[in-house]
Amino acid sequence: MKKTTTGSMLVMAALLIASGALSACNYLAPASYILEGTGTTPAEHTLDQVETLVFVDDATNVLPRTLLRSALATDISNDLMARMLVSGTVSPNDAMAMVRSRERNGRRMSIEAIASEVGVTQLVFLEMESFSLTERQYIPRPNASCFVKVLCMTRGERVYPADALGDQGGRRISVTMREIPPETMRSASGRRQAQMALAADLAGEVAKLFYDHETKELGENLGIK
């Protein structure tokens, strides 16, 4: 087995310095990244330990299936509970069913009415912006975005984000997955699986707003998965 001695390492270092390789910033940055890691991103908001509803609003019907609304809200709810970020959650499916039964003739329930009806004082509200399996209409790269806000019903106000961000007054979250194999797009089952994976990714990013988490790795979404 070939061994590297201290003497040979010193010679190699001297040669690198002489050639200027150690002075190039583009070499030092990746080395620093490898040695130090990516770091931690702190939570943007701490949720109250109360019964909470996660509700997804898709007024413009960007989600191709109602099931995706349920999956998105349920994934977030389960994540919040698993990490003990709230004391309890109301079933998103039950809340959606209640809203469907109450909304008639184009009349929509207000956020306050929804929270009151299901008996929660804290509501994590998502407003969908986009949801697509392709980028620029032809690249098979799933992407989605939404606006997130947290409402405290006892105070009757939005508590997160503290300041309005954009017209929707919410924190914009977007995700872009790696390119998926073209053959995935050719079958209905393949597209459904990709949609569920995209919804899960978006749910994960929304939940991260409420707990400290590892910063996303460099190049994590590059290439074909």
Q: Pick left, alpha or beta for residue 90 (phi over 0 → left; psi -120 to 50 → alpha; otherwise beta).
A: beta
User: pLDDT digits over 98-127, tens only?
Assistant: 999 988 777 889 999 999 999 999 999 999
User: pLDDT digits over 20-61, tens only?
Assistant: 433 333 433 344 334 445 699 999 999 999 999 999 999 999
In contact, 75 and 199? CB cutoff 8 Å: yes
pTM (two decimals): 0.78
The predicted pLDDT at position 105 comes to 73
In contact, 76 and 150? CB cutoff 8 Å: no
Predicted confidence band of residue 221 (pLDDT cuts 50, 70, 90): low
Mean pLDDT across 49-74: 96
Q: Which residues contact residue 17 at a Cβ distance below 8 angstroms, ignoring those fewer than 6 apart?
A: none
Predicted confidence band of residue 164 (pLDDT cuts 50, 70, 90): low
Query: Which of these ranges, 9-18, 152-161, 191-200, has the smallest mean pLDDT?
Result: 9-18
The predicted pLDDT at position 1 comes to 44
Q: Which residues contact residue 35 at a Cβ distance below 8 angstroms, ignoring those fewer than 6 apart?
A: none
The predicted pLDDT at position 91 comes to 97
The backbone torsions φ and ψ at residue 18, rounded to the nearest 5 degrees and listed phi first, read -60, -35
Burial of 208 (0-12, 13-18, 19+ CB in 10 A): middle
| Cα separation, 181 vs 198, whole angstroms | 15
The predicted pLDDT at position 19 comes to 43
Q: Which residues contact residue 66 at a Cβ distance below 8 angstroms, ignoring those fewer than 6 apart?
A: 96
| Cα separation, 44 vs 58, whole angstroms | 24
The predicted pLDDT at position 7 comes to 43
Burial of 45 (0-12, 13-18, 19+ CB in 10 A): middle
The predicted pLDDT at position 170 comes to 93
Domains of the chain and CATH, by start: 6-37 (no CATH), 51-214 (3.40.50)
Mean pLDDT across 212-221: 70
Mean pLDDT across 154-164: 88
User: pLDDT digits over 173-200, tens only?
Assistant: 999 999 999 888 889 999 999 999 999 9
Higher pLDDT, 169 or 75: 75
Average predicted confidence (pLDDT) for the chain = 82
